[in-house]
Structure 1
Amino acid sequence: MDKYERRRQRLIELRDTKCGGNAAELARRIERDASYVARMLYPEGKRGKKRIADEMIEVIEVAFGLPQGWLDLMSEPSKPMAAAQKVAENSPKTEHHSNPVIQEVIRLMEATDNNGRMMVLGAVKLTLLQYIPTSKKNK
C-alpha cells in the first residue's frame, strides 16, 4: 500500500469514527467542499480521484486535533481507531488536571491509537528535555 492509499484509508477511518460515516460532516470539519472530500475518498484509478497531499494532511490533522503524521501511520487492522476510542472513553478524563499542557497531552493520547500515542510520548520527552538542566541530562 502506498502512502496515498494509506492516507485515504485513514481519512475513511476518520469519516467513520469521528463524523458518523458522513463525508459531508468530514468536509465541514476540514472546511473543504464536500465534492472535493468525496474525490479524496475515491479508490485509486477512479476518474476524478484527488490524492491527499502533504498540505491537506496538516489541515486534516489540525481539524481533528491529531498528532502530526497521524494520517501516514499504519493502522493496526485488529485495533482500529474505534477500539482506541473505547479505551479513551473508559480512561480518566482531563478535567481534573489544572495544567492546560497536560490536558492537551492527555487529549491527544485519548484521541489516537497506539502508534499515535508513541508519537505524542516522543514529543513530550523532547519537550521535557528542554527544561532539564544540562548537568542532569548527562546523569
Structure 2
Amino acid sequence: MATGLTVNGEAVEARSDPDTPLLYVLRDELGLNGAKYGCGLGQCGSCTVMVDGEAVLSCLMPLLTVEGREVTTVEGLGTLEEPGPMQRAFIAENAAQCGYCIPGMMMRAQATLTANPDAKEVEIRQALEYNLCRCGTHMRILRAIRRAQDEMRNATEEA
C-alpha cells in the first residue's frame, strides 16, 4: 500500500508501512537525511520537520498521519547552490558547530517565523525549547534566526 504525500513541493508515494515514523520514511525511503535521529522519543528536536507549515517531531509521527499533506524538510528550504534565507543566515552567523541539531533548529525557526513574521526574541526562544543543543552556539543560533527574520521580512516588503 502506498501513502501519497508532498515532500518539499514534490508529490511522492511512500511504500513503507503506514505505522512507520515519518523520520524513517524521509531518511531510508526518500533519501532525505537532513532530519536527524536523536532520541527517538520526541525529546530532542533533531528530527523536526514541518507538516503543513507546523513544526513536528518526525520520529513520533506515523506515515499514515501525513497522507495528503505537505512535508517540508531542511532540504526544502533551499539548495547548496541557492540556500534559502534561514540557511544563509545560519551560514553567515556560523551558527552550526557539530550540525546535528541544526536542521531541526532551522525547521522550528522557519515554522515560527512563517506563522509569525514579527516574532519577538522571547517567542523564538520559547519555540526553540523543544530543540536541544550541546554545542554552545545558542547565541549564534538566535542571531541567525533574527538575521533570517529580517531577510524574510525585507523580501516580503519588496514583493
* TM-score, normalised via structure 2 length: 0.31
Q: When you count helix as a share of all residues, which structure comes out higher?
A: 1
Larger radius of gyration: 1
Q: When you count strand as a share of all residues, which structure comes out higher?
A: 2
Which structure exhibits the higher relative contact order, with contacts defined as CA atoms closer than 8 Å and separated by 6 or more residues? 2
